[in-house]
Amino acid sequence: MSLPDVIPASRTAGEWWPPVMLDPVWITANAGLFDLMHVHFGFESFSVGHLTSCVEALASVGRPLVFTVHDLQNPQLFDQTRHEQHLDVLIAGATVVTTLTTGAAREISQRWGREAVVIRHPHLLDFNSVSAESVPDPGERSTAVVGMHLGDIRAGTDARRATMNLVGAVRMLRAGGLDVQAEVHVSTRVRDEAARDAVAQACREAEGVTMFEHPRLSDDELVRALAALDANVLPYRHGTHSGWLELCYDLGVPVVAPSIGHWLDQHDEPGAVVGFDPGSVGSLAAALSQTLRHPQTMSRRAVRAERRAQRWAHRGVIATAHAEVYRTALTAVGSADVTSSGVRRRDRDMPDHQKLRPPVTGNTAPET
């Protein structure tokens, strides 16, 4: 159980805001409301000094910090200097560090000397409202369709090179007899207009590659667009983990990803994620050929149904892992007994305003 997010009075509809709870004054004033603080995202807008003060405030009131490392490289930024300084503070100051893959855990160990607990990413598809049968299935069509989504071309998206690689790979595959078409999707509002224009020109001049420019898709539109693909190419120049990849996995869509970061560690079952060298058109062509010429043995709907069952069962594993992390963190501060659910037992003589509450969980980033 988590405390509800504190909403600033100045917030406007649709606006993201930094987590109000990640503040030394708030921590000190509200220490009686929570047992521990669990940070995921939202700290990038704060100074290094502010985060240091938060770590010190938590220590002063005896509340442990759990930090989940999603991004060893921030996909929103070109210059990683400040992000790495933030990681220095939070990884060093955390009572327990967690991350999403074994590869990221190894990197954390090598760079910071901390052993991170690996807890896999949960499902992103809303299985309560989306069934295996309710989204499109590519079926037995003669033309394979490959998709690549550039979004608003944030810093971690290598729009120009990724598009040129895809254009070259499609040319090679078609020359080799594979009937394939590619779709490049770009938001109508982008951060890099020059890159968008270069992508548009490359697609206009290419055979079998079309650019689609449109507003940001709704969740339902995105699910239907991804589900109709035979493969999805990730266009990233740097990063660590991908929520986009997780959604494709839920939908049964094979992902072709650059062999950097830790995307290939997110799912290791054959065909789920295939890597390529982002500096080589031939490598991308080979990865797409492997994916498209050797499709899944089950139908897409059967794959989705199987993964739904797998992911649903994994929810319990994730919950148990977090409970153990919380027990470890609370025990480490050494100030109270801990229940099997990972929450400290209340002292019967403790005044209500001092009784400890569920963990505070940092809010999510505006974009995955």
Query: Is the Cβ–Cβ distance between 69 and 87 less than 8 Å?
Result: yes
This prediction's pTM: 0.88
> Residue 341 has what pLDDT?
47
User: What are the residue ranges spanned by the domains of the chain?
Assistant: 24-123+312-361, 144-298
Q: Which two tokens stand for residue 305?
A: 């149904």
pLDDT tens figures, 134-165: 777 777 688 999 999 999 999 999 999 999 99
pLDDT tens figures, 286-307: 999 999 987 666 788 889 999 9
pLDDT band per the 50, 70, 90 thresholds, residue 1: low
- Residue in the block written with tokens 């493969």: 231
The CATH superfamily holding the domain 144-298 is: Glycogen Phosphorylase B; (3.40.50.2000)
> Residue 127 has what pLDDT?
84
Q: Is residue 363 pLDDT above 50, yes or no? A: no
How far is the first Cα of the chain from the last one, in angstroms, to the nearest whole number? 23
Q: Which two tokens stand for residue 196?
A: 């968008």
Residue 108's φ and ψ, nearest 5 degrees, are -60, -40
SS3 96: strand
pLDDT band per the 50, 70, 90 thresholds, residue 109: very high
Residue 218's φ and ψ, nearest 5 degrees, are -70, 165
> Residue 213 has what pLDDT?
98
Tell me the pLDDT of the chain averaged across its residues.
89
Q: Alpha-carbon distance 115 to 107, whole Å?
A: 10
Q: Alpha-carbon distance 31 to 52, whole Å?
A: 17
